Amino acid sequence: MFGSGNFDFFVNIGTYKPKYVLIRSLVISVSAIIIIYITGVMTKWELLPAELKLTIYTIAVLAFNSVTEVNLFIIRLFRKWERFGKSLYIQILSVFAVTLLLVFAWIQLAEKLLGEVNLLTLHVTQIVLIIGLLIILIHILIIILSNLTRDYLNSRKEIDELTQAKLMSDYNQLRDRLNPHFLFNNLSVLKSLIHYSPDDAEVFTENFTNVYRYMLKCHDQKTVLLQEEVKFLHSYIALHKERIGEGLQVAIHIKDSDLQKELPPMALQLLVENAIKHNAVNRNHPLNVKITSDDNFISVQNNLNKKDTTYSTQTGLKTLDAQYKMLAGKSISVKEDGSVFTVTLPLL
């Protein structure tokens, strides 16, 4: 996807920013001088006095620039008129009409300054008008197209911003899923532990607090350190193991050099949660989850013992993949070979 940065010069050539006004004026002025010079050479005007030549050059430069800037102003007015602002045909017709009126006015002025009765009958005037009008019209057309391009880029930017906002909303909803069911299940476990094992209840409460403290801390963050995510994951897994027991086995092997790298918050939790959600987990059918890092990637792998009643839309994985594309232009990798399910995330 391209951004407006790739088209800065093109989309700004018709603006009133000092830099682009100067560039526009220089291009038109040089074009006018070149046209008059070439036409003069063709018509052998070297016999004319130097002062008269200077007057002709000056009139040409002023005329060309005035036609350009007045048409640019007209185009800006049309752009503010919503009904016709995006009609290319109306803008071109208006430019053509205004150009003819201005050319007629400048010819009248030139006739008075140069003392010619009818400049339009002169061959040199006709050549200048044909070439000059062609250059000016091409220049104005470029400005119109640059305006349309700027409108398109602005609309794409708005769409991208809305898409990112929607993505962030979806991702936050994924993280917020912990609130209802997770809270209810763990409060039930805690209630039982208080009665039968107060010491375990204290540890459980600490892990429970760590999980929700982390959720509150990272709720508005786009990325977190892997070190913080792993610390949170230990508390999250401990809560599940208290409920599931030895049916859940999680091995975490992270390189020290990777701990200071980043990833979206609760990304690992999502993958562990998916593994628990979609597979039978008990002592007879243990769920083995292995989390490892390798250079710029971290993988979450689990054996498969799918529940017959569970249907997956992979919404969580799709949203996580979109999150990575938004943050770093990278994708996640999802592989399943029949016995093992593996998700690999880039480390940022």
Q: How far is CA 348 from CA 7, 215, 258, 262, in A?
A: 29, 20, 10, 5
Q: How far is CA 56 from CA 50, 52, 60, 116, in A?
A: 10, 6, 6, 12
C-alpha 336: how far from chain center? 32
Least confident of 21-35, 46-60, 180-194, 284-298: 180-194
- Domain range summary for the chain, segments of one domain joined by +: 4-161, 177-346
Q: Helix or strand or coil: residue 171?
A: helix
Across residues 274-279, what is the average pLDDT?
88
Whole-angstrom distance, CA of residue 250 vs CA of residue 237? 8
Phi first, then psi, for residue 292 (nearest 5°) are -135, 155
Least confident of 110-114, 141-145, 315-319: 141-145
Task: Give the tens place of pLDDT for each residue, 25-67.
Answer: 888 888 888 877 877 777 666 666 777 778 878 888 888 888 8
Q: Residue 120's pLDDT is what?
A: 63
Whole-angstrom distance, CA of residue 301 vs CA of residue 293? 11
Nearest residue to 269 via CA among 239, 310, 303: 239
Was domain 177-346 assigned CATH 3.40.605.10? no
The model's pTM: 0.53
Task: Give the tens place of pLDDT for each residue, 71-128.
Answer: 778 777 776 775 555 566 776 777 778 877 887 888 788 777 777 656 666 666 666 7
